Every structure is written in structure tokens, then in C-alpha cells.
Amino acid sequence: MSYRVLVCDDQPDVLEALRLLLKGQGWQAVTADSPQRLLETVRGGGPFDLILTDLNYTRDTTSGQEGMDLLASLEAQGNTIPVMVMTAWGNIDLAVEAMRRGACDFVQKPWDNNRLLATIRKQAEPMRRRQSELEIAANVQQQFFPRKLRRLESLDYAGHCMPAREVGGDYYDFLEMPGRNIGFVIGDVSGKGVPAALLMANLQACFRSQPPHALLRPAEVLAAVNRHFFDSTAAERFATLVFAIYDDATRHVRYVNCAHCPPLLLRATGELEILDSTATMLGAFEQWSCTEAATTLNPGDTLLLYSDGVTEAGADSGDEFGEERLIHTLRVNQSQPAEALVQAIVDDVNQFSGAARSDDVTVVALRGL
């Protein structure tokens, strides 16, 4: 099996020796000569089966502090790639400390080629299997998002979710309701990756299991969701969410915003309205209540629901997409169909942030006809 390994060391001869060793096994080695370069490569050059990195660099050649800082930075940007560290012969204490901070294994310099290759296989193979399992999970999760859209006389609508990893914690849905009503949900579960994805599926089940007539009472539905999340999840787990009900006959929109990113309502006249929170987040507090608000979606008006992964995209590299850029994209594409508007926002976020995106990006657009 061919592996792709990211190798980091500040000594060119070491990098070349490792590259040739891995090449001899039919593996690909991508090299970086500093911790900063490694972090940039992880963000923009993946996927990798393993990271192999030295702990000591030219700025500090003995303590391993730069290596420890690197492990902390990898964790901070949500790294899931196994990290093997290299350390000087006899410096076992430093290797042990690195493993306490997230490294999966270590090798001492000068290394034994056979042992190094065997250790890489040992650590990379489970990652490869896990990647395959995550790809299956990603396909399953994509099935959770709505595909068949009921045609409405007065409304065009569309949504899209782009996970930062294979699976994520963002959620959106279109819910069938009695009469000419239809429900819209967008939510963001705390955390990332598989744990968030499981809670996302739980959140969807909370809504999908409701009888259609019950969904017409948002306060009762959301109170039940809050009780379920509070009772069944850890204290640090919660969800922000917007639940809206659109009446195709009256153009009336009822909504509850549970501490989620405020939806943007761009009127056909160019006036912009912000739909602020009307409740706290779900699952954080045992005692919970909400206020229902309302607005109207006239012809040419656009209501945009989005997750914080949109406005915070690029933050890891020091500059985030932000609300101003989002509003600009919304105005430029105001006359576009809902699906084209959603795609334009996703494309702009991708173009702006590149690979520097550590959170899911979810957008739902409702446009009055």
C-alpha cells in the first residue's frame, strides 16, 4: 500500500535521506523545513497518511519546545493526521512528553531504517482504514440533507452544506407541514468531526420524528429538543439553530433564532434587516424558553440563513471572510435564483479561504417570487 507522508526537518540532508527511504517503498514524501511550513502544508496540501516531524529546530536545538509548540498548533487547527516525532538518541523524556501532547509514536536519531518503516506502517494503516470509514460516513451524512424540494408558488429556496472534514456538525433541513406551510431549519452543533456528526444526526431525528402538525408550534418543538439535548449530551455540547416556518399563501415567516448567526433579510428595495436571536442555545440550560418572531417575504426579497463557518472562514490564516463580504455577495447575486445564490456564496468562501477553513460551511437561501 502506498502512503503519503509529510516529513519536517530543518536539515536538508535529513529530509533528502527520508525522502529517498520512503520513495524506495513506493511511498510519497512531501517535505517541509520548518514548523510554520508544515502547518501551511497541512492546511493546503493534504490529505496525508502520516506526519513525521523533528522536535528540535535551529531556533532551539535542545529543549524541543518548537516541536511541542508545533503539536499544540496542529491540535488547535483540528489536525486528525497521526504525528510521529523524531528526537535525539537517548532523549526519551522528550519523546514521552510529545506523546502526552498528541504524538502517536517516536523514533530516535540516527534511526534504524527497518524500524522507522515498520513504525510508519503501524501508524498509517489504521489512518487509511479510518479514512475509508469516514468516506462511507460522509456519503451517509450527505443523504441526511434534503434533496427533493416541494415547489412553492411564492418562494424559491435552496441549501448546501460543505463539511470542513469528511463529516461535520452543521445541519439544514426542509420540513413538510400541513397546508401550504413548509419548515426550514439550520443548525450548528458544537465540536467537529465524528462526535459533532453524531449529534447532528440526533438533532435531525428530533425534528423528523415530529408529527407534521406539531411542527407548527415551534416553541413546543424546540423545548423538547432542548430537554433531549440537555439530558443526553455532555455539558459542553449544545446547538445553535434557526427554525422558520413559511406560509406559501400569506408569505408570512415565523421564526425562532436560538443564538445562531442572525439571518440576513435583503429587501427588494436594498434595505437590509438582521433577524437577531430570540432564544438561548439548545442543550446548554435545563430551563429554556423562547420568543417567536415574524416577518414577511415579499417578491424580490431574499432571506439568507448561514452557519458561522461562512463568516469565520479563513480565520486560521489571520483574516476571516466576515459579514461584510457575505452581505456584498448577497447584494451582487440578489436577482439570482436561490440555488445560484447559495453556490455563489460557497464559491466566494472557498476562493477567499482556500484550505484555511476549519469549520463547516452551510447556506440556505429563501427568495420571494
Domains and CATH numbers, the chain: 4-138 (3.40.50.2300), 145-368 (3.60.40.10)
Residue pLDDT, tens place only, 296-350: 999 999 999 999 989 988 766 678 899 999 999 999 999 999 999 999 999 999 8
Q: Give the Cα-Cα-Cα angle 347, 41, 315 (nearest 5 degrees).
A: 50
Query: How confident is residue 135, by pLDDT bands cut at 50, 70 and 90?
Result: low
Give the pLDDT confidence score for residue 142 in this predicted structure: 57
Is 0.75 topped by the overall pTM? Answer: no
Residue pLDDT, tens place only, 69-110: 889 888 887 788 899 998 876 567 787 888 888 888 888 888
Query: Helices (DSSP H) in the chain: which residue ranges?
Result: 12-23, 35-44, 65-76, 92-100, 113-144, 193-208, 218-232, 308-311, 322-332, 338-353
- Higher-scoring residue by pLDDT: 181, 87: 181
Give the pLDDT confidence score for residue 167 in this predicted structure: 47
What span, in angstroms and rounded, lies between the C-alpha atoms of 187 and 205? 13
Instruction: Specify burial of residue 248 (Cβ count, 10 A radius: 0-12, 13-18, 19+).
Output: middle
